[in-house]
Amino acid sequence: MAGIGPLTQDWEPVVIRKKAPTAAAKKDEKVVNAARRAGAEIESVKKSNAGTNRAASSSTSLNTRKLDEETENLARKK
């Protein structure tokens, strides 16, 4: 077996990591309770229309108010 020298590897090491938890996994009750027990800070934020049956566009906006305050007659001449 001429010509066979020492065996070498030219492979690069592979690092396998776990995926980061998704947003749904972070909100899980078990995860939140474990964070409370560990003393981590927990922030709870209520969404503006959470639990209501109103659409987000049902509130009056600035443009609607400007139109209501407009006093100029914009009718076309016939």
Contact 56, 63 (CB under 8 A): no
> From the CB of residue 28, how many other CB atoms can be counted at a distance below 10 Å?
12
Kindly report the pTM of this predicted structure.
0.34
SS3 28: coil
| pLDDT tens digit sequence for 25-73 | 888 889 889 989 999 888 887 777 666 766 655 555 667 777 777 777 7
